[in-house]
């Protein structure tokens, strides 16, 4: 663990902490080297200032066909295929529109703050063979994506790298790796391609979050599952003024809020290129106050809070058109992606042991 990272994985990292001096020297040397290159390309920000988003190659690009070759014909055939097709760009994957939207926010931030390093930094995290790297780089250049940092982990767990880059959000197709990341206190989710395609905003990044077991801990969800809705309503009324504990995605909402405020101080609240949504199955009257008061106690804002009182989330998400929607329950993910929402499963909390209210033996596998 880096000396400037908090010891408690459930605590959000602080962007303003003083860095280790050797680390600082390394960054100064890297900056001097980069400045000498006289390039017009923006320099990647330092991880401790940036909001770092790590994406796997299979979430950034659609590699379903390639994966099939790997599974049916083995590694050698797979690598050979990738090399033979390396000048053919890969098709966009589930995280692609999200990454594009992050880049749009960065360009707006650079207009207002040309020298600031408080930007999104996108890191490609892949355990692909080095030979496949050429096709990935070619595809990144083809779509003009600003992804300078590559982590080719060679089959090793990405957790160490995620920590070294002070990752604020990790997106993968591998539910096992996502679960490991969450256990280490890193916000993470397993991404799914939607079944149909919705047109998304190209001027505003839209991020939608479920509440319980995503932004908040699963403490209230446990009561629903074990004692039913009526006990839950009573419980939430009784503890209305006691903030919920934080869930795995709280720190990412906080990071978005930090960047949103940079627009607000420039009087750009109306035109802010980041918009956040809470989409919860809770009902407003009986259990909504506690979540709003919890957010307030954290000093966090959410732009729109939607209390569905048990109604399906899919149709509403279809209207919101988020670039990414996080939920801990697979049946919400399934409903959302059926109606064209790019969805990301957060494998956390008691919900993993249930499907549509029924207890299941094994945690729901995301793939
Ligand atoms: Mg939930």
Compute the distance between CA of residue 129 and CA of residue 79 in angstroms, rounded to an integer: 7
Compute the distance between CA of residue 357 and CA of residue 218 in angstroms, rounded to an integer: 15
Question: What pLDDT does 107 receive?
Answer: 95
Which stretch, 17-21, 58-62, 145-149, 236-240, has highest mean pLDDT?
58-62
Which stretch, 34-48, 149-163, 314-328, has highest mean pLDDT?
314-328
List helix spans (H) across 151-227. Answer: 159-164, 175-183, 219-227
Å from CA of 90 to ligand 1 middle: 33
Domains of the chain are 47-191 (3.40.50), 205-359 (3.40.50.1000)
Question: What pLDDT does 45 receive?
Answer: 79
Å from CA of 335 to ligand 1 middle: 14
Compute the distance between CA of residue 367 and CA of residue 359 in angstroms, rounded to an integer: 19
Question: What pLDDT does 12 receive?
Answer: 67
CB 58 within 8 A of CB 192: no
Å from CA of 164 to ligand 1 middle: 29
State the average pLDDT for the chain: 88
Å from CA of 32 to ligand 1 middle: 46
Q: Which of 119-123, 149-153, 217-221 has the least mean pLDDT?
A: 149-153
Question: What pLDDT does 351 receive?
Answer: 82
CA-nearest of 217, 265, 249, 229 to 326 is 249
Å from CA of 47 to ligand 1 middle: 30
CB 253 within 8 A of CB 209: yes
For strands 149-152 and 169-172, give the pairing. unpaired
Work out the pLDDT band at 355, boundaries 50, 70, 90: confident
CB 3 within 8 A of CB 246: no
Question: What pLDDT does 361 receive?
Answer: 63
Å from CA of 221 to ligand 1 middle: 7
Work out the pLDDT band at 6, boundaries 50, 70, 90: very low
CB 362 within 8 A of CB 230: no
Residue with tokens 């969805």: 343
Å from CA of 163 to ligand 1 middle: 26
Task: Report the share of the chain in percent with pLDDT over 70.
Answer: 90
pLDDT in tens, 333-344: 999 999 999 999
List helix spans (H) across 37-174. Answer: 57-60, 64-73, 75-84, 96-112, 133-142, 159-164
At 164, list the tokens.
């070294």
Question: What pLDDT does 62 receive?
Answer: 96
Asked if the model's pLDDT at residue 255 lies above 50, the reply is yes
At 233, list the tokens.
């309503």
Å from CA of 218 to ligand 1 middle: 8
List helix spans (H) across 37-95. Answer: 57-60, 64-73, 75-84
Question: What pLDDT does 21 receive?
Answer: 72
The residue among 243 and 226 whose pLDDT is bigger is 243
Asked if the model's pLDDT at residue 8 lies above 50, the reply is no
Compute the distance between CA of residue 250 and CA of residue 246 in angstroms, rounded to an integer: 6
Rg (CA), the chain: 21
Question: What pLDDT does 50 receive?
Answer: 93
Q: What is the mean pLDDT of residues 110-124?
A: 93
pLDDT in tens, 177-188: 999 999 999 999
Q: What is the mean pLDDT of residues 264-279?
A: 96
Work out the pLDDT band at 67, boundaries 50, 70, 90: very high
Q: What is the mean pLDDT of residues 93-118?
A: 95
pLDDT in tens, 13-44: 544 445 567 777 777 777 777 666 666 666 67
Å from CA of 153 to ligand 1 middle: 32
pLDDT in tens, 303-315: 999 999 889 999 9
CB 163 within 8 A of CB 136: no
- Residues tagged active-site: 210
Compute the distance between CA of residue 305 and CA of residue 150 in angstroms, rounded to an integer: 36
What's the pTM value of the predicted model, to 2 decimals? 0.88
Residue with tokens 């042991």: 353
Q: Which of 90-99, 115-124, 219-228 has the least mean pLDDT?
A: 219-228
CB 322 within 8 A of CB 207: yes
């Amino acid at each position: 663990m880096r000396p400037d990272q908090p010891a408690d994985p459930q605590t959000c990292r602080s962007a303003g902490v003083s860095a280790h001096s050797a680390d600082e020297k390394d960054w100064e040397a890297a900056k001097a080297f980069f400045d000498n290159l006289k390039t017009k390309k923006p320099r990647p920000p330092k991880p401790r200032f940036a909001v770092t988003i790590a994406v796997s190659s299979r979430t950034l690009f659609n590699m379903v066909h390639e994966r099939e070759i790997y599974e049916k014909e083995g590694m050698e055939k797979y690598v050979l295929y990738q090399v033979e097709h390396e000048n053919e760009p890969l098709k966009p994957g589930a995280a692609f529109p999200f990454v594009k939207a992050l880049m749009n926010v960065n360009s707006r931030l650079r207009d207002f703050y040309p020298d600031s390093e408080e930007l999104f930094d996108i890191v490609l995290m892949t355990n692909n063979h080095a030979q496949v790297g050429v096709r990935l780089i070619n595809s990144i250049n083809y779509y003009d994506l600003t992804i300078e940092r590559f982590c080719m982990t060679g089959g090793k767990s990405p957790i160490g790298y995620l920590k070294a880059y002070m990752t604020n959000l990790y997106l993968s197709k591998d539910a096992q790796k996502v679960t490991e990341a969450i256990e280490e206190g890193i916000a993470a989710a397993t991404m799914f391609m939607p079944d149909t395609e919705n047109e998304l905003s190209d001027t505003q990044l839209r991020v939608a979050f479920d509440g319980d077991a995503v932004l908040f801990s699963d403490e209230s969800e446990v009561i629903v599952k074990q004692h039913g809705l009526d006990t839950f309503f009573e419980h939430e009324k009784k503890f209305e003024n006691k903030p919920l504990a934080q869930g795995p995605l709280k720190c990412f909402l906080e990071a978005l809020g930090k960047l949103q405020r940079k627009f607000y101080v420039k009087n750009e609240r109306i035109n802010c290129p980041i918009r956040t949504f809470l989409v919860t199955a809770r009902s407003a009257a009986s259990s909504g106050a506690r979540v709003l008061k919890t957010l307030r106690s954290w000093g966090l804002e959410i732009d729109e809070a939607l209390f569905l009182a048990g109604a399906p989330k899919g149709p509403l998400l279809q209207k919101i058109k988020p670039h990414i929607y996080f939920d801990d329950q697979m049946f919400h993910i399934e409903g959302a992606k059926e109606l064209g929402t790019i969805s990301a499963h957060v494998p956390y909390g008691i919900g993993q042991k249930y499907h549509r209210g029924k207890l299941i033996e094994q945690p729901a596998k995301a793939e």
